[in-house]
């Protein structure tokens, strides 16, 4: 079998084309099933067919490029949807590398590789929706009832998948392993001057939508002691969980209230409703369970103190996952050959589609540095030579795994 040899400049050219869909300054706005997202997936499907791959779109908008009807091949990819204010590399880089290694595998006559861009990894509708449905971690029915923060339902949004191509199922059984290269999105490689990260594990994540419900009222005539102020409930809840988490968390545990919507969100009105999302992550699933118990106890306690109601919904959970030892070994060997002494083992604080795929097949991940560790921000960036090195390391690892 011939060796895989990639064309790094061609990969960068594809990455820059992908960047143009939803471009906004140095970043991109390409939410799942938005106009730019649909346009980018149509472009990707077209690039796949130009490369001699057969494009397949499934019923949740994941786009696969398959090397004919080969079974048992390696799948390489990531996601190409972004956060509302996304960086140009988060996910897109892994999709461009996946396309390049799949295309080059046909050109070189090396072991055929398939590629993929998963949909809604960034959680517009639910946490890593596309790969969770594809791997059976989330039923289509459960995904369909999820909505984005504007109330758009996933069932309605995913109808646009048909605009990308003929919709059909792609069975995970067609693949024997999944590899993903991604920007680190954190500061470790940048701080230590390393150029490649070999991922050992990915944190577990829990996400929930919650609401404090009080009484909407006049901001001038309602005495403070008679108010049922939903924002006060959220503020007290936030400071109380910070205090109560102290006995449970480590310096690696993270938690975020990233979305808040007050109703009616008006200067002269006591907020009657505070909708918010809370998300927490750690490598230890037992710790994540303890944190959920604290969150619920504290919310009920604060609601009781302030005469509010409290509700929670749309809970999603992905356990912490480990990368496959055999793949990690191949990535370590490839990293030492491509970046001698300039690589390190690390865990991922960001979630990736690889976490979901790990429940069905062996998976592994490579990281390249994020400049100043910035991500989920228009300023996200990585040196071009590091993007090229990551692609070469991926190709080298594939040659090791398929030798």
Coil, helix or strand at residue 221: coil
Residue 25 CA: distances (Å) to CA of 29, 39, 226, 301, 389: 10, 19, 48, 45, 26
| CA proximity to 317, closest of 52, 127, 163 | 127
**Residue 164 to residue 153: CA distance in whole angstroms:** 19
Q: Is 363 helix (H, G, I), strand (E, B) or coil?
A: strand
Taking the least distance from each CB to ligand HGY, the nearer of 129 and 211 is 129
* 121 interacts with ligand HGY by CB under 6 A: yes
Structure tokens at 118: 């998963």
State the minimum distance, in angstroms, from the CB of residue 402 to ligand HGY.
29
- Smallest distance from Mn ion to CB 352, Å: 6
Confirm or reject binding of residue 387 to ligand HGY (CB under 6 A).
no
Say if CB 64 and CB 86 are below 8 A apart.
no
Q: Give 75 or 203: the residue with its C-beta nearer to ligand HGY.
A: 203
Of the pair 121, 229, the CB lying nearest ligand HGY is at 121
CB nearer Mn ion, residue 27 or residue 272: 27
Nearer to Mn ion, 111 or 316 (CB): 316
H or E, element range at 389: helix 384-402
Minimum distance between the CB of residue 349 and ligand HGY, rounded to whole angstroms?
7
Could you tell me which stretch among 118-126, 144-152, 187-195, 282-290 binds ligand HGY (CB under 6 A)? 118-126
Cα Rg for the chain, rounded, in angstroms? 22
Q: By rule CB under 5 A, what string of x and - marks binding of each residue 82-121 to Mn ion? A: --------xx------------------------------
CB 306, CB 236: distance < 8 Å = yes
Cβ neighbours, 10 Å, residue 153:
14
Q: Mark the segment that binds ligand HGY (CB under 6 A) among 115-123, 140-148, 237-245, 331-339.
A: 115-123
Could you tell me if 261 and 272 are in contact, meaning their C-beta atoms sit under 8 angstroms apart? no
Task: Report in angstroms the alpha-carbon separations of 231 from 163, 218, 225, 249, 311.
Answer: 42, 14, 15, 26, 14
Q: Which does 130 bind (CB under 5 to 8 A by kind): ligand HGY, Mn ion, none?
A: none
* 351 interacts with, out of Mn ion, ligand HGY, none, CB within 5 to 8 A per kind: ligand HGY
Query: Which DSSP category does 378 fall into?
Result: T
Q: What is the DSSP string of 111-161?
A: S-EEEEEES-TT-SSSTTHHHHHHTTSS-HHHHHT-B-TT--BHHHHGGGG
The DSSP symbol for 167 reads B
Out of 14, 58, 120, 122, the residue judged to bind ligand HGY by CB under 6 A: 122
Residue numbers 22-51 binding Mn ion by CB under 5 A: none
> The dihedral of CA 227, 230, 234, 240: what is its sign?
positive
Question: Which among Mn ion, ligand HGY, none contacts residue 120 (Cβ within 5 to 8 A by kind)?
Answer: none
d(CA 346, CA 397): 17
- Residue 282 or residue 338: which is nearer to ligand HGY going by CB? 282
Q: Which does 208 bind (CB under 5 to 8 A by kind): Mn ion, ligand HGY, none?
A: none
Strand duo 27-28 + 23-24: pairing: antiparallel
Q: Which is nearer to Mn ion, 80 or 111 (CB)?
A: 80
CB 208 within 8 A of CB 278: yes
Closest CB to Mn ion among 27 and 91?
A: 91
Q: Quick one: 219 or 254, whose CB is closer to ligand HGY?
A: 254
**Residue 63 or 351 with smaller CB distance to ligand HGY:** 351
Q: Work out how close the CB of 383 gets to Mn ion at its nearest, in angstroms, rounded to a whole number.
A: 19
77 beta partners: 116
Minimum separation from the CB atom of position 351 to ligand HGY (A): 4
SS3 240: helix
Count of residues engaged in binding Mn ion, rule: CB under 5 A: 2
By the rule CB under 5 A, 240 interacts with Mn ion: no
Convert residues 315-354 into a mask of x (bound to ligand HGY by CB under 6 A) and - (unbound): -----------------------------------xx---
Stretch that binds ligand HGY, among 119-127, 268-276, 332-340, 379-387 (CB under 6 A): 119-127
Residues making contact with Mn ion (CB under 5 A)? 90-91
Residues making contact with ligand HGY (CB under 6 A)? 121-123, 350-351
């Amino acid at each position: 079998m011939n060796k895989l040899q990639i064309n790094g400049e061609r990969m960068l050219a594809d990455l820059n084309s992908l960047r143009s869909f939803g471009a906004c300054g140095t970043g991109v706005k390409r939410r799942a099933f938005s106009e730019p997202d649909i346009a980018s997936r149509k472009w990707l499907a077209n690039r796949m067919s130009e490369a001699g791959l057969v494009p397949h779109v499934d019923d949740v908008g994941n786009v696969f490029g398959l090397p004919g009807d080969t079974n048992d091949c390696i799948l390489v990819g990531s996601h190409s949807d972004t956060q509302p204010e996304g960086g140009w590399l988060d996910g897109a880089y892994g999709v461009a590398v996946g396309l390049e290694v799949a295309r080059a595998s046909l050109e070189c006559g090396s072991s055929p590789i398939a590629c993929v861009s998963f949909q809604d990894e960034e959680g517009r509708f639910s946490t890593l929706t596309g790969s969770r449905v594809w791997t059976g971690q989330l039923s289509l029915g459960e995904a369909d009832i999820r909505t984005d923060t504007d109330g758009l339902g996933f069932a309605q949004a995913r109808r646009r998948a048909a605009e990308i191509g003929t919709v059909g199922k792609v069975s995970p059984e067609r693949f024997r392993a999944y590899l993903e290269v991604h920007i680190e999105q954190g500061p470790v490689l940048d701080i230590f001057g390393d150029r490649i990260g070999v991922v050992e594990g990915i944190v577990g994540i829990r996400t929930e939508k919650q609401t404090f419900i009080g009484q909407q009222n006049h901001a001038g005539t309602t005495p403070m002691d008679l108010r049922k102020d939903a924002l006060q409930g959220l503020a007290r809840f936030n400071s109380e969980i910070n205090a109560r988490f102290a006995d449970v968390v480590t310096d690696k545990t993270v938690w975020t209230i990233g979305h808040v919507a007050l109703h009616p969100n008006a200067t002269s009105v006591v907020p009657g409703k505070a909708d918010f999302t809370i998300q927490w992550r750690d490598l230890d699933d037992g710790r994540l369970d303890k944190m959920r118990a604290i969150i619920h106890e504290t919310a009920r306690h604060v609601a009781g103190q302030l005469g509010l109601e409290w509700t929670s919904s749309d809970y999603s959970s992905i356990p912490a996952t480990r990368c496959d030892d055999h793949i990690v070994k191949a990535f370590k060997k490839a990293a030492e050959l491509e970046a001698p002494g300039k690589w390190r083992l690390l865990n991922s604080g960001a979630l990736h589609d690889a976490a979901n795929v790990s429940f069905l097949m062996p998976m592994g991940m490579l990281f390249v540095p994020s400049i100043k560790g910035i991500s989920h921000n228009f300023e996200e960036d990585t040196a071009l030579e590091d993007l090229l090195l990551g692609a070469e390391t991926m190709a080298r690892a594939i040659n090791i795994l398929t030798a």
